[in-house]
Structure 1
C-alpha cells in the first residue's frame, strides 16, 4: 500500500480541522527555510542614506558605467528617489488584498516591463493563487520577463487552498536562477517540457509541492551544480534515487518517506530526516557511495530502516566493511527507549558509524512501554567502536528520569573512554528533577574521570519532536542539532565519578 502524504494522514486521523493546522505548519516551515531578502528599506544603513540629503544635490550615480548601474539597481531597497513609480510599486510588499484588483495586476506587469534588470531576487509569497487563476497569462508573462532579465533568486509560495494548481511552465525558462523556492503547487508535466528547460546555475532548491518521483528526478538531472536540496512537507510519499556529483546537503522535513537511495553522491556532507510523519509503513533509506557524509540525523528506528550498500541493518547485524559508514562524525537519533523493539536497534545502528564523535539522542515519550531493556541488554551489546574509542560528546534531549534513559546514560558513561562532555537536557515538565539527574549518575564508574557533566533546562516546551531550523541546518559553520546547549546551564560538574 502506498504511503500517505502528511495532509492525507492529518485528514484521516483528525478530520478536516487538522488540514488547516497542517497547512499553517507547512507554511511556517516554508517561511523558516526562506532566505531573507538581501536588502530592505527598514535596514538602518538604507534608512540613513535615504534620509540624508546630498549637500550639493549633484547626481553622482548616473555617471557610473551601465553594468555597475544595473548591478546596484537590482539590489537597492525600494525608494521613490531611486526607482521609477512602476518599479517602486513592484518592490512594495504585495498583500492578498492588493492582488484582488485588476489594476494591481496591470501595475505589477508594468513594473516588471519597466525594470531594466537584472533581477537579483523576486518574492511572490502573499498571493492566494485561487484569486489570480484568471490571470494565468499575466503570471506566465511575469516569469517570461523575469527569465529574460536574468532573475537569480525566485520564491514562489501559495498560501491558500487549492494546493494543486499547476506551476507555470514558464518557470523553467528562468535559466539564470541560483536559488529557487517553490511552495504548495503542482509540478507541470515535465515529460513535455522542452529539452532546453533546466537550471544550469541553480545551487539551492527548496520544494513543498505535489510532484511525482520523475519530477524530482527531472529537477536533479537538470540542475548540474545543485548543492542544497530541501523538501518540506511533501504532498506525496518520497521515493527517489540520489545520483549527483554536486549535492552537498539534503534535508527532508515533515515528509512521508517511501525510499531514499543515496546511490552516488560523492560530495554529500549532510543528510537530515526531520519529523517524518507517516507511521503506517516503514521507509528505507540506503546509503551507497557517500564518502564525505559527515552529519546524519534524526534517525527514527520505528519509521525508517537503514540500508548500507546492499545490506539492511537489523538487530544483531554483524559488522563488516559493507555495513559501515566511516565518514560520519555527528549522528542524531530519535528513539523511544521504553520500546524494546526500538532500543534493540540502537547498538546495531551505532556500530554502523564507527567514527562518530558527537552523538545526539532525542528521547521520545512513549505512550505504551513494551518490554523495557535491562542492564544486561546493554552489557551484552558488544563492542561499539564509536562509543568506546571516538565519542567525545553526548547530548541527551528530553530526559525524564526514566530507568531506560538512565541505563543508556550509564552505558555511555562507563564505556566511552574519550568522552569529554555529557549534556543532559531536561524535558520541560521535569525541571525539578535536575538534582536527581546528577544523583542518578553518582555511582557511575566513568570511563573518563575528566568528563564534564552538564544539566540544562529545555528552552522549548516538549512538542513530541526535536526542534529544527531549516536555515541553520544549511549553514555549514553550525551544528543544527546543538541549538539547545548554549542556553540555560543549570549545573556543571568537572571530574564526574
Structure 2
C-alpha cells in the first residue's frame, strides 16, 4: 500500500482530528483490500474474448452465427460487459441477442484497463466515468441482470443516480448484487435506501461501507424471498436489523460478516442457514438459538475491550465445522453449561455432530492447555483437528508429555482423529510434548501436517530435524503420514467467504499457501 493515494486530500481533515494522514491512507487501502479478498469470485472474467475465425483473406463462413439463440445468448452472458455490447455490431443476426440475454455487469470492466482487479486507488474522474457508463447500460438493456458488481464508484458523490439504479435493479430482476462503497474518510454512515427490500429476485447480496436501512419502519411485506447468500462488510447494522433480515429471508443459507463497525450481538434463529462466517469483527455475543441446518460456524474476531467473546450453542444438530476458537479469549457455552477448565468435563456439554475443529492455543499458558483438554472432550466425534500455536511472552511453566498423559481419556483422540494440522510450529518443548502425546495416543491418525511459523527456520533440514524426533518413540499408528511445510504468510492470510461457504470443500481450514520448503510427504 506504499503507493496508495486517496481520491481526496485528507491532510487537513486528518490533522483536525489529530490523526496521521499517511496512517489513514494506509488503513483505507488495507481495509479495502480485506473486503475485496473476502468477496466471491465474479462469474465472468476479462481474460475471455469473443473470437470469430476467418480465412487469411478476411472472408470465410460465419458458422458461429448459425448457432441457436440459446447458445448465442449463453456466449454473450459470459463476456465482459463491453464485449457483450459489441456483439451487436457483428451482424444483423447478433443485434437482438444482447438485449435478450441476462448480463453480468462488473464496473471494473468499464475502467480504461478493463480487467478483473478492483483498484485500491481510483480518482474522481474515473469514478464519474464509471457512474455514467453504468447508467447508460441500465437504460439500454431491459434486463434481467445475472450479476451487478459495483466496486469502483464513490457513491456518496452520486446519490441520485445510485438511488435510481436501485429502483432499476428491482424492476430488471437483478439476481446477484455487490455494492461496495468508497467512503472518504473511512466511514460507513451513508444509509443505503430501503429500496433494497423490493428486489424480489435477489439471491446474492454483498454490501460494503454502508449504513444498513432502519428496519423498524419497514412495511410488513418487506422481505428477501429468494435471498440465499448475504455478506455485510464494514457496515453499520444493529442487532435487531440482523434479526429482521433473518426472519424475512426464508431460504438464506450463507451469512457472512467482515469488519462490522459495531460489536456484533447475534441471536441466530433460522430454519435455512447452513453457514455463518464472522471475520475481523468485535463479537459481543453469538447465540445459536435454533439453527437446525447450520453446518459451518467460522469465527475470526477481535477482542472487545478485554471482554471474552461469548459463544452459546443451544440447538445446532447438523453442525460439522467449528472454529476458529481462541482459548483464553472466547467463552463457549453448550446448552446450559459454560465450558471452563476448572469445572472438568461435563457429559451434557458435548456436540457430537462436529467433525472439524480449528482452535488457537498458547502452549506456554497452563490454563490454555487445560482448556484444550476440555474442549476436545466437548467434540467426541472429531475427525479433523487444526491447532494454531499462538506465540506469547507470558509463561506459566513447561508442560511435559506426562501432563497430557495424566489428563485422562479423550475420546476423539483415542478413536476418531484421522487428520491433524499443527500451525505456526516453533519447535518449543510444550508444543513437542503435545504432539508426542497425540502421536502416541491416536491410533486412527493417518496424516499429521506440521506448518512452521513464517520465517522461523532457516532451512528445511533445520525444520525437519525437530519433527523427526517426534516419531522416535512409541506410535499409535506406524503408518501415519507426515507432511511438513512453512506458512508463507506471517499472519496466517486473509479469509475468503467463498472458500468458507464452498460445501464441496470438506476442510476449508486446510493449508492454502505453503512454503519455500515445499511440502514434504514421507513415512517415518
Which is further off, 363-372 or 138-147? 363-372
1:47 partnered with 2:64 = no
Does the CA-based 8 Å contact 1:317-1:348 persist in structure 2?
no
If asked which structure has higher relative contact order (CA below 8 Å, sep 6+), I would say 1
- In the alignment of these two chains, the number of paired residues is 473
Which is further off, 359-368 or 469-478? 469-478
Output one character per residue of 1:349-388: Cα deviation in whole Å (capped at 9) or x when no partner.
0000001111111111113223343444312321110011
* Match of residue 226, structure 2, among 190, 198, 201: 201
Partner of 1:398: 424
1:174 partnered with 2:199 = yes
Give the deviation of 1:47 after TM superposition.
Answer: 3.1
Give the deviation of 1:253 after TM superposition.
Answer: 0.7
Which is further off, 238-247 or 279-288? 279-288
Give the 3-state SS of the residue equivalent to 1:253 in structure 2. Answer: strand
Unaligned runs of 5+ in 1: 1-11
1:444 partnered with 2:444 = no
Give the deviation of 1:319 after TM superposition.
Answer: 3.7
Partner of 1:185: 210
**Distance of 1:370 and 1:310 partners within structure 2:** 31
Does the CA-based 8 Å contact 2:419-2:447 persist in structure 1?
yes
Partner of 2:115: none
Partner of 1:469: 496
Give the deviation of 1:119 after TM superposition.
Answer: 0.9
Following superposition of structure 1 onto structure 2, how do residues 101-116 of structure 1 map, counting pairs within 5 Å?
101=128, 105=131, 108-116=134-142
Q: TM-score, normalised by structure 2?
A: 0.82
Does the CA-based 8 Å contact 2:303-2:309 persist in structure 1?
no
- C-alpha spacing 1:299/1:172, structure 2 compared with 1 (3 Å): same
Does the CA-based 8 Å contact 2:293-2:318 persist in structure 1?
yes
Partner of 1:5: none
Which is further off, 352-361 or 106-115? 106-115
**Distance of 1:269 and 1:39 partners within structure 2:** 29
- C-alpha spacing 1:344/1:50, structure 2 compared with 1 (3 Å): farther
Following superposition of structure 1 onto structure 2, how do residues 375-454 of structure 1 map, counting pairs within 5 Å?
375-427=401-453, 428-432=455-459, 433-454=462-483
- C-alpha spacing 1:17/1:245, structure 2 compared with 1 (3 Å): farther
Unaligned runs of 5+ in 2: 1-16, 90-94, 112-121
**Distance of 2:339 and 2:106 partners within structure 1:** 54
Does the CA-based 8 Å contact 1:204-1:226 persist in structure 2?
yes
* Match of residue 483, structure 1, among 496, 504, 511: 511
Does the CA-based 8 Å contact 1:228-1:247 persist in structure 2?
yes
- C-alpha spacing 1:56/1:434, structure 2 compared with 1 (3 Å): closer
Following superposition of structure 1 onto structure 2, how do residues 320-331 of structure 1 map, counting pairs within 5 Å?
320-331=346-357
**Distance of 1:476 and 1:23 partners within structure 2:** 32
**Distance of 1:239 and 1:454 partners within structure 2:** 40
Does the CA-based 8 Å contact 2:265-2:284 persist in structure 1?
yes
**Distance of 1:199 and 1:282 partners within structure 2:** 34
Following superposition of structure 1 onto structure 2, how do residues 144-159 of structure 1 map, counting pairs within 5 Å?
144-159=167-182
Does the CA-based 8 Å contact 2:106-2:149 persist in structure 1?
no
- C-alpha spacing 1:381/1:72, structure 2 compared with 1 (3 Å): same
- C-alpha spacing 1:404/1:122, structure 2 compared with 1 (3 Å): same
